[in-house]
Amino acid sequence: MRTVYAFVFVSLDGYVATPDGGTDWFVTDDELERYSAGQGEHIDTIVMGRRTFELMASYWPTPEAHAADPVVAAFMCDLPKVVASRTLTSHPWGPTTFVADDVAGRLRDLKDRPGKQIAVFGSSALVASLLPTGVVDEVRVLLQPVVLGAGVRFLDGAPHGTTLERLDVRTFGNGSTLLTYRPVPTT
């Protein structure tokens, strides 16, 4: 069975975006870029919510993205994407499948098929909705050493009492920390 992991970057005070949805506060370096590029070797499907998809679709297919980060741009553009959306049904950035209902069921189906890992990029609200379904095997939180003070909260809407078990901690030279957790099933 394939693994589904969520990869989300978060400010030190628990936000995934500024109040207007901005992510320009995210700081990277060569080491973190290598980590990001390395994810492409281990995944063959990308999952996103609509807002994250629209943000990614506005950047990764551009000549600027291919010039700045050709490895990540290649897998972001080439790999199949599953987008949770009740409003989008098509988009020129493909290959993309839009799922309006039962995203967890779609992911369970994908997990049962042969292949590499499945990555949910960004999409904190989607991850929060998927946690109680048991379909997410890992949550990888890239904690950024910045305080935003306001914005879109990480995992807003996750059920009260959701518990995660820490699997790993990795630090990066730019001050970021990658925290890897496994959701603990409720009994």
167 phi, psi to nearest 5 deg: -105, -35
Looking at every residue in the chain, the average pLDDT score rounds to: 94
Q: What are 172-187's pLDDT values in tens digits? A: 999 999 999 999 987 6
What is the model's pTM?
0.93
Q: Which amino acid is at 141?
A: V
Instruction: Report whether 5 contacts 139 (CB < 8 A).
Output: yes
Q: What are 92-107's pLDDT values in tens digits? A: 998 999 999 999 999 9
Instruction: Please list, in sequence order, all residues whose beta carbon lies within 8 angstroms of the beta carbon of residue 3, skipping any fewer than 6 positions away.
Output: 111, 117, 118, 137, 138
Encoded tokens for 88: 């989008």
Domains and CATH numbers, the chain: 4-174 (3.40.430.10)
Distance of CA 126 to the CA centre of its chain: 9
3-state SS assignment for residue 76? helix
CB atoms within 10 A of CB 15: 23
pLDDT at 124: 93
Distance of CA 41 to the CA centre of its chain: 16
